[in-house]
Chains A and B, each alone.
Chain A
Amino acid sequence: MAFTRCLNDIKPGQFAHIKQLCTDENMHRRLLDIGLIENTKIKCIGKSPFGDPKAFLIRGAVIAIREEDCKDIMIDD
């Protein structure tokens, strides 16, 4: 089934669960490395001065991810 929401759809303060990674291979591996797999809880906690990249709380660590990459990270509804 196709997921309709991506990581860009959550605002600072909101959280979601990862459903599917549609990123390129490199990014895919990196996201797996930091523990981003199906059903991982992810919370948006802020954005940089230009609004991109945004900072996300993933398994206790804060990771900045760009808009382009966020659009390929699908989340639950």
Chain B
Amino acid sequence: MGLTKSSVGIKAVDIGLSIEKSENEYVIALAGNPNVGKSTVFNGLTGLNQHTGNWAGKTVTNAKGVCSSKKHSYIMVDIPGTYSLMAHSTEEEVARNFICFGKPDAVVVVCDATCLERNLNLVLQTMEICNNVIVCLNLIDEAKRKGIRINKTALSQKLGVPVVSTVARKKKSLTTLLDTVDNYFDKKMIFKPLKITYNEKIENAVYMIEQILTKKGIDGVNTRWLSLRLIENNKSLIDDINKYLGIDINSDDEIKEAVNFAQTLLSNSGIDENAYKESIVSSIMSVAEDICKDTVKYDKGRYAEFDKKADKILTGRLTGYPIMLLLLMFIFWLTVSGANYPSSVLSNWLFYLQDKLHVLFDILKIPPIISSIVIDGAYRVLAWVVSVMLPPMAIFFPLFTLLEDSGYLPRIAYNLDKPFKKCSACGKQALTMCMGFGCNAAGIVGCRIIDSPRERLLAVLTNCFVPCNGRFPALIALISMFFIGTATGTFSSILSALILTLFIILGIVITFLTTKILSKTVLKGIPSSFTLELPPYRRPQIGKVIVRSVFDRTLFVLGRAAAVAAPMGVIIWLFANITVGDSSILNICADFLDPFAKLMGLDGIILMAFILGIPANEIVLPIIIMAYMSSGSLTELASISQMQNLFINNGWTVTTAVCVMIFSLFHWSCSTTLITIKKETGSLKWTVLAFFLPTIIGIVACVIFNSVISIFV
């Protein structure tokens, strides 16, 4: 659920290609297959907190950070993980463009030592584009455990580039990486990178085109590599060369002619477009195979016994689904039961502080109107947001991150692929759905892992049906107020977790239904092919996870909510205290919305809170409370039962609570999410649909539920 400053677009996200550097700085690109620990290496080196997790496709944009070794300073660029640089997906294009046009001084290709052969594919492809490659064998400890031994020196000799092994989780091992990079730039050793030779016919064709390119003085890109790509008709590369180097290959007849001629020659000798690509990859792979044959030794060991057993249970026919559900419920249970107590302590404390603030403002002789705006407006909403949100988030985020670190999330996608396929969608949508639990905006950025544009749109449009962390706490609060009632102890927390799980399942069911309907109407199509990597299970780094998720995610999300909540508190206060005629603006608006809201089982204030909550869902419940309190006589509100009384005094019933929860689950996304959707889809049309789709579902669901209940009650 990659939710950090970077993933929601505040900082370090997609830095583009131009890196500003001073004279004695080197730019290092970190490339590698997905899920080999690139981000861990990046974080270890730069001290930055790029989000990490044990699944392929987590980093989808470039991120930048600085680090210094004993001798040099480096600008590290973490580029998305890719299997190849042939660029058939957005991430691959981002990665290729940086290596190609970003002019890095060196590219460190991070490899998974447990499956070196496949990783070498990328190493060899990178070496075709640029000469300055350094290989970093990461996860060397895991390889050792699996009985895989790699001869580093031999590997380095064969490849003709420096090779260094690391255990990225251990910071110490990264200094050897930096030493190697230092030595590389100090030219302590001379390297002669291996060049791949293809089949003779291809070599002839390449030679022909390369000659023309050299004659034309094409600069800034390796001409041999470019020739290879021109033959395979790589359109995105041609566009990007035009974009970044200002060379329009399409308009150059001489080059075009040469490429056409080369293609004809090849196809005449039986190498058509597909055969060409296959031949290229086969050549690279067989070089990789040869290298591994001489440098990697497999001890006969218990190969991934643990993974096998774990998968048998976690993805088993009978056990897979129940465990998924139980796990979800268990996480909710921990969140609910763990959050109760700190929540009430926090709110007691914050409201005690409110009284003290009043006293302080009186002493300072601040005019009552100002102190009222600041304390009863801004501070109070802020206090609510903090006390309602902080505890559940501080528990939920680390728990979910642990799950993510362990490698379980891809198994969820694996388990759910069949149902998603039935809806003509992609199993990876399950991953983006999981990310949505953290933040829908992050989930939507994460949809880039889905290759097919149609399936990606399905995932984007349905992402908001899982409640993000901004909506969770409100759901939890409402459940404990209206469903648990007087029950206390373990039983009540299990019951709330159960109800919450049911609501989440409702969200997931609607996700499937909507996906199905969309794929039968506006997004018609058949499911495209699908591959998903199931990474080895890893023991999560518990300490790190907790620290990271509390400081990075929790405080960040809270900060964002607070930034919205404080000014919103002022606005609500003004709404409630400025009167037009006999009643306040708040009441006028609420009265206006009331008839419609009543149909949905809500009231005007609630609906208005949802509308005002567009900047951040977190503040919906606090706005409702504020609005009720400003018109009522209650001023103290320290416990959940008092909150319940406030709601009941304002006409809430269990039906109201259910309708609020339904509408909370299905309504317009917050503005951050909508902006992200616009950015990701590049289309206003889809953004508008993403706004109305959940809204209409929510309105219809509320109206139906409310009418059905009112028939019986």
B-facing mask of A50-69, CB < 8 A → 1, else 0? 11110100111111111011
Q: Are A34 and B531 in contact (CB under 8 A)?
A: yes
Given known pairs A29-B88, A33-B86, A59-B117, the reply for A64 and B281 (CB within 8 Å) is: no
Complex Cα distance A55/B411, Å?
Answer: 11
B507: CB under 8 A from chain A?
no
Q: Are B274 and A28 in contact (CB under 8 A)?
A: yes
B531: A residues at CB distance < 8 A: 27, 30-31, 34, 63-65, 69
A-facing mask of B393-421, CB < 8 A → 1, else 0? 00000000000000000000011011101
B528: CB under 8 A from chain A?
yes
Q: Are A60 and B415 in contact (CB under 8 A)?
A: no
A50: B residues at CB distance < 8 A: 317, 418-419
Selected from B114, B121, B321, B536, the residue in CB contact (under 8 A) with A33 is B121
B-facing mask of A20-63, CB < 8 A → 1, else 0? 01011111111111110110100001111111110100111111
B529: A residues at CB distance < 8 A: 23-24, 26-27, 30, 66, 68-69
B530: CB under 8 A from chain A?
yes
B121: A residues at CB distance < 8 A: 33, 35
Q: Are B417 and A53 in contact (CB under 8 A)?
A: yes
A28: B residues at CB distance < 8 A: 274, 277-278
Q: Are B274 and A55 in contact (CB under 8 A)?
A: no
B278: A residues at CB distance < 8 A: 21, 28, 32, 37
Q: Are B274 and A53 in contact (CB under 8 A)?
A: no
For A40, the closest partner residue in chain B by CB is B285
Query: CB within 8 Å of A: which of B296-313?
Result: 307-308, 311-312
For A52, the closest partner residue in chain B by CB is B418
Given known pairs A46-B315, A55-B311, A60-B117, the reply for A25 and B415 (CB within 8 Å) is: no
A37: B residues at CB distance < 8 A: 278, 281-282, 285-286
B681 CB, min distance to chain A CBs, angstroms: 20
B290: CB under 8 A from chain A?
no
Q: Are A33 and B83 in contact (CB under 8 A)?
A: yes
B451: CB under 8 A from chain A?
yes
B118: CB under 8 A from chain A?
yes
Selected from B274, B288, B533, the residue in CB contact (under 8 A) with A62 is B533
Q: Are A33 and B84 in contact (CB under 8 A)?
A: yes
Most buried by A among B86, B88, B414: B414
Selected from A24, A32, A64, the residue in CB contact (under 8 A) with B414 is A64
B427: CB under 8 A from chain A?
yes
B115: CB under 8 A from chain A?
yes
Q: Are A53 and B414 in contact (CB under 8 A)?
A: yes
For A58, the closest partner residue in chain B by CB is B118
Most buried by B among A27, A28, A37, A68: A37
B320: CB under 8 A from chain A?
yes
B311: A residues at CB distance < 8 A: 45-46, 55
Given known pairs A45-B308, A49-B317, the reply for A60 and B285 (CB within 8 Å) is: no
Q: Are B317 and A61 in contact (CB under 8 A)?
A: no
Complex Cα distance A28/B275, Å?
Answer: 11
Complex Cα distance A46/B317, Å?
Answer: 10
Complex Cα distance A69/B528, Å?
Answer: 9
Complex Cα distance A64/B419, Å?
Answer: 15
For B146, the closest partner residue in chain A by CB is A60
Most buried by B among A37, A59, A60, A62: A60
Complex Cα distance A35/B33, Å?
Answer: 12
For A69, the closest partner residue in chain B by CB is B529
Given known pairs A32-B281, A35-B117, A35-B118, the reply for A66 and B421 (CB within 8 Å) is: yes
B534: A residues at CB distance < 8 A: 55, 62-64
Given known pairs A32-B277, A55-B414, the reply for A69 and B312 (CB within 8 Å) is: no
Complex Cα distance A68/B422, Å?
Answer: 13
Complex Cα distance A18/B119, Å?
Answer: 19
Complex Cα distance A13/B462, Å?
Answer: 37
B654: CB under 8 A from chain A?
no
B316: CB under 8 A from chain A?
yes
Q: Are A26 and B451 in contact (CB under 8 A)?
A: yes
B517: CB under 8 A from chain A?
no
Complex Cα distance A55/B427, Å?
Answer: 14
Q: Are B451 and A53 in contact (CB under 8 A)?
A: no
Q: Are B86 and A60 in contact (CB under 8 A)?
A: no
Complex Cα distance A47/B316, Å?
Answer: 8
Complex Cα distance A47/B317, Å?
Answer: 8
Most buried by A among B308, B533, B536: B533
A2 CB, min distance to chain B CBs, angstroms: 18
Q: Are B83 and A34 in contact (CB under 8 A)?
A: yes
B156 CB, min distance to chain A CBs, angstroms: 20
A29 CB, min distance to chain B CBs, angstroms: 5
B532: CB under 8 A from chain A?
yes
Q: Are A49 and B277 in contact (CB under 8 A)?
A: no
Complex Cα distance A49/B317, Å?
Answer: 4
Complex Cα distance A72/B471, Å?
Answer: 44
For A28, the closest partner residue in chain B by CB is B274
Complex Cα distance A66/B413, Å?
Answer: 12
B294 CB, min distance to chain A CBs, angstroms: 16
Complex Cα distance A68/B117, Å?
Answer: 27
B108 CB, min distance to chain A CBs, angstroms: 20
Q: Are B115 and A61 in contact (CB under 8 A)?
A: yes
Q: Are B274 and A61 in contact (CB under 8 A)?
A: no
Q: Are B533 and A53 in contact (CB under 8 A)?
A: no
Selected from B285, B418, B528, the residue in CB contact (under 8 A) with A48 is B418
A48: B residues at CB distance < 8 A: 315, 320, 414-415, 417-418
For A21, the closest partner residue in chain B by CB is B278
B285: A residues at CB distance < 8 A: 35, 37, 40
A38 CB, min distance to chain B CBs, angstroms: 7
Complex Cα distance A41/B645, Å?
Answer: 67
Complex Cα distance A31/B285, Å?
Answer: 12
Complex Cα distance A13/B496, Å?
Answer: 43
Selected from B115, B281, B321, B530, the residue in CB contact (under 8 A) with A65 is B530
B535: A residues at CB distance < 8 A: 62
Q: Which 5 interchain pairs have the tightest Cβ spacing? A: A60-B115, A27-B529, A49-B320, A33-B83, A50-B418
- Supply 5 further A-B pairs (C-beta < 8 A) apart from A29-B88, A34-B83: A33-B121, A47-B315, A48-B418, A64-B417, A65-B530
**15 pairs from A and B in contact (CB 8 Å cutoff):** A29-B86, A30-B83, A34-B118, A45-B308, A48-B417, A49-B317, A52-B421, A55-B311, A55-B315, A61-B533, A62-B535, A64-B531, A65-B530, A66-B530, A68-B529
